[in-house]
Structure 1
Amino acid sequence: MSAGLLVAVLLASALLEGSGWAGGVGDGNLRLSVTVNGRADSDVRPPEVRVGAWVVKRYRLLNVSEADLHRVRVLDPGAPAGSVRCPAVLPAAEEAECTARFRAVAGRHVHPVRAEGDVSSLRTRLTATARAGYAGVAGALGLTEEVLVTTPGTGGGGASATVTYTVTNRGNLPLYTVRVEDPGLALAPGAPDCGGRGGTVAVLAPDTSAFCRTTVRLRPGTYRSAGRASGSDRATTLGTGGERVTAPLLTAGASAVFVVREAPVAPVPRTPAPGAPAAGAPAAGSSAGAAGTPGASAGAGAVPAPGAPGALARTDTNAGTGTGTDAAGRPAAPAAPG
């Protein structure tokens, strides 16, 4: 063997040793499987994970080729960007694990996953795909309340307050046996009325609300209601290692401050003092007779008719002269002498 040929063989061996032997490289030489919170068939049975709890995805990569894979990476749209960690190199005929750990969000998240690795000596890339994911359980309960105070009219009974509680399922699964109570108002057992059921909503579908009402009679004063609601979606979820996690009790609260005022007082009729004249009666000492009534006082300057009782006798202004006139104005006859 010539010296030049020997150098070429040694150089080729060194290059292959540094980059990994590229023989037996082709489709199917990289294999991928994924488990999500311990479940291997998450593509058909995605594990339910409570919103806010941890999701752990494990990507198992098997390199069955005869070449080392460089710049190994996993592309998973169901995992937050930058959350997947992989080894830089996957040697030939070996396996490695990439992992992702993040908080669950609401909804179903099952997506195709793609693993890649580069064969530097051949300037080629091996790939593998799989489907995996989880279902985020968003159990959430909401409660609001509104108070209407009714004050009776004059002389009515006591005041009352009608409280309306609005309970809402803000999650993505039905809620069961939702109970509503108000320790602030010390409601009686079975109150409030939730559509014919005492203090309980049997089933509340996602994104729906139910109304519960109660009416209480209260003395005047300031009050604070303290509504409370509780229920469960009954969903058993999976922990990071596949352990079963029972459904928590979901709760919500609300409060309102309101004032009950005094009812108006009816006015008391006034009783006149003894001896006081009734309304519209003439005062003492005033003339009570009407015009034309006997005994009524004549007006100022009025002259009684002649012959009327109390009329003055007529005085003859010419008396003693014998020259008077009669009533018709004619000269009167002279008086007989002696």
Structure 2
Amino acid sequence: MSGGLLVVLLVLPGAAAWAGGSGDGALRMTVTVDGRSDSAERPPAVRVGAQVVKRYLLENLGEAQVYGVRVVDPGVPGGAVRCPRQRLAALGELECVARFRALPGVRLATARARGDVPSLDVLSSATARSGYVGVAGGLTLTERVSVGGGRAAVTYTVANRGNQVLHAVRVEDTALPLGPGAVDCGGRAGTVPLLPPGASVRCTATVLRPPGTHRSTGLATGSDRVPTLDAGGAPVPAPTLTARSSAAFTIPAPPGGAGVGGGSGGSGASGGSVRGGVAGVGGVGGGSGVAGVPGTSGGAGVAGAAGGAGTGAGAAGAGTAGAGTGAGGAPGAPAVPGAPAAVPGGVPQAVPPNAPPSVPRAAPTPVPPTPARTAGSVPAAPSQGVPETVPGIGDRQQQQQDQQRQQRQRAEAVPDDEGFLGRLRRRAREAHEFGVVAMLLLLLIPAAVAAALLGSRVK
């Protein structure tokens, strides 16, 4: 009875193949990718660059031990599958592991496991198919700037270099002051709804900037909306893809126009300091003509608005009146005998009413020109006149008035920024004029004191 039962057990399906040894089906292999065992039918999505973990579970269904187990998988970069250096016992299990970074695209491959059975001199093997899908969201952005008419036209080019469709790609600039809707992407305000793999779209924007160097910093964002798995098999939401670009550009300054000339007439030109002058008083033309007195050089003129400097010059001649000329202004009017002489700034010089018009007047003492002030300021023009002293008329009151007027004019002609040498020269001239008065005071004061003492003694 026992012998018959043993024969029945040997002829049972599956039992006879492994009894006492190992056949072709004694080694079996199962592969999981990031925890998924059905990767051959449904390969999991893995973000490109993320870690992929493949586990190879080897089972020995035979009664003989398997030595030197090794696994070769074309889906692993370099075939780096690590297996423990130990034998696979009969009816035992063994696990090999491979870790690597995900590559883009569909990565399906068939792995093969092998082992030796020395006791039976056979080679035991097994195969399994597995893989994953590498999700590559490749968003890129470039830009180009063209300048003209004080405006900058920026062209942004957004492209999809990945293997998935990108959704709601938005383009903006973080450096330029662009308002809402300023970026035009094919008729849409700064947004590309769908961007297939390998496609690109141009977006444009125009901005007005002041002269100088500026920088544009483009920013593009979007998503492929594909969830993936991590190395442990946990789901990972789709990230926001970002691309940046940058470009520097220069807005040139507008071409400068020519300086505006001074007003017409004797006001002179503008721009630098204007060195104007008082026209010399000429002689009065008669039957035979009286020689005119040469005119004197005028004092410093006023600074004009723009342009060159004008100079006034006295003219000497028989019966000819001197005239001042100005660059950028009209020639000065000829002087009329007996009329007030023209001075820069349009201030006429007073003439005493009792001076005969036909008698020439003496030339005044020249006054040094006033230094020009800084550009943009218009100093008051000194009123340098022609002395009104007429030879042969002994009117002391008129002479005192003339001296007082000349002193007042010279006091007004002193500039605020007069230097040390200019002040010294002016004091020297005033001392010469004051000498006569000082001498009189030195003579009169002792006389007055003596008269007072003599009067007190008489009393």
Which amino acid in 2 is paired with 1:101?
R
Q: Distance in 2 between matches of 1:236 and 1:54?
A: 15
1:124 to 122, 125, 135: 122
SS at match of 2:57: strand
1:231 to 215, 222, 227: 222
How far did residue 257 of structure 1 move?
0.8
What do the CA deviations read for 1:49-79 (whole angstroms, capped 9, x no partner)?
1111110001111100111010101110001
Which amino acid in 2 is paired with 1:199?
G
Structure 2: tracts of 5 or more residues without a match: 1-17, 265-327, 333-459
How far did residue 166 of structure 1 move?
0.7
- Kept in 1, the 8 Å contact 2:33–2:52? The answer is yes
How far did residue 218 of structure 1 move?
1.4
The aligned counterpart of 1:198 is 189
How far did residue 186 of structure 1 move?
1.8
How far did residue 214 of structure 1 move?
0.4
Structure 1 residues 149-188: aligned runs within 5 Å: 149-151=147-149, 159-188=150-179
What do the CA deviations read for 1:267-319 (whole angstroms, capped 9, x no partner)?
5797875469xxxxxxxxxxxxxxxxxxxxxxxxxxxxxxxxxxxxxxxxxxx
How many residues in Structure 1 have an aligned counterpart in Structure 2?
Answer: 249
SS at match of 1:90: coil
The aligned counterpart of 1:72 is 69
The 3 A distance-change label for structure 1 pair 98 and 22 is farther
Q: Distance in 2 between matches of 1:113 and 1:214?
A: 54
Runs ≥4 residues deviating over 3 A:
265-276
The aligned counterpart of 1:137 is 135
How far did residue 264 of structure 1 move?
2.1
More moved, 117-126 vs 223-232: 117-126
Q: Distance in 2 between matches of 1:189 and 1:101?
A: 47
Structure with a larger share of its residues in helix: 2
- Kept in 1, the 8 Å contact 2:110–2:129? The answer is yes
Which amino acid in 2 is paired with 1:176?
H
Structure with a larger share of its residues in strand: 1
- Work out the percentage of aligned pairs sharing the same amino acid: 56
Aligned residues: CA RMSD: 1.9
The aligned counterpart of 1:16 is none
The aligned counterpart of 1:246 is 237
Which amino acid in 2 is paired with 1:213?
T
Does residue 213 (structure 1) correspond to residue 204 (structure 2)? The answer is yes
SS at match of 2:119: helix
Higher RCO (CA < 8 A, seq sep 6+):
1
Does residue 115 (structure 1) correspond to residue 100 (structure 2)? The answer is no
- Kept in 2, the 8 Å contact 1:34–1:59? The answer is yes
- Kept in 2, the 8 Å contact 1:26–1:126? The answer is yes
SS at match of 1:149: strand
What do the CA deviations read for 1:85-113 (whole angstroms, capped 9, x no partner)?
11231111111111111111111110111
The aligned counterpart of 2:26 is 29
TM-score where L is the length of structure 2 = 0.52
TM-score where L is the length of structure 1 = 0.70
How far did residue 22 of structure 1 move?
8.9
Q: Distance in 2 between matches of 1:48 and 1:228?
A: 27
The aligned counterpart of 2:246 is 255
SS at match of 1:180: strand
- Kept in 1, the 8 Å contact 2:155–2:204? The answer is yes
